[in-house]
Amino acid sequence: MSEQVLREQLYEAFKHRAILYYLIYDELRKEIGPERAEDILSRAIYRRGVERGQQRYAKYAPRDLLGLKDAFLGNLADGGRMFQPEVLASTNEQLDIKFHACPLRDAWQQYGLSPEDVALMCRIASRIDDGTFEGAGFRFWADTWQPGGEGCCCLHIRPK
């Protein structure tokens, strides 16, 4: 199998994941309302992030942000091309990474979601990052995509 075919399959898998997130949210929203649906899906995604953070990045906590940066960026899909990260700040006191692309956001936009629903889904999906970095032992917050915004998420990681 060629590298191009594998790359296409990888991008399709991310698109599939994005649409599944939305369809699960949509079904939950119909049954229990939008706030509870967001809460439940967010908690599940966060839990998976905690598992990943403990497995992959806990050895860098609480202060090795430079090691974390190299490990995290080195694990991004398609060598980072999928998210197009830009490191805005990188010291052992702060790590800020701006993503200029996101296959999940792109999939929701292509699927026809309103900008407000895309922003909601970005907020829900970003809980994986909250779980990943908090589960690894760091302080973390993200600025998720908003309608009219440039690029996508901006991750902020600090020592705990």
Return the minimum-mean-pLDDT range out of 26-30, 54-58, 150-154: 150-154
Residue range(s) defining the domain that contains residue 34: 3-159
Amino acid at 54: Q
SS3 assignment, position 142: strand
- Note whether 101 and 83 are within 8 A (CB): yes
The CATH number of residue 43's host domain is: 3.30.1380.20
Dihedral of CA atoms 104, 45, 88, 139 in degrees, nearest 10, equals: 170
pLDDT at 127: 98
> What are phi and psi for residue 111, nearest 5 degrees?
-75, -15
pLDDT at 113: 98
> Would you tell me the crossing angle of helices 34-56 and 115-125 to the nearest 10 degrees?
40
Average the pLDDT over 4-17 and give the result: 97
Distance of CA 103 to the CA centre of its chain: 10
Give me the number of domains the chain comprises. Answer: 1
For the stretch 48-91, pLDDT in tens is 999 999 999 999 999 999 999 999 999 999 999 999 999 999 99
> Is residue 1 scored above 90 in pLDDT?
no
Distance CA 147, CA 24 (A): 22
Handedness of CA 138, 139, 144, 149 (dihedral sign): negative
Stated pTM of the model: 0.95
> What are phi and psi for residue 102, nearest 5 degrees?
-155, 120
For the stretch 90-139, pLDDT in tens is 999 999 999 999 999 999 999 999 999 999 999 999 999 999 999 999 99
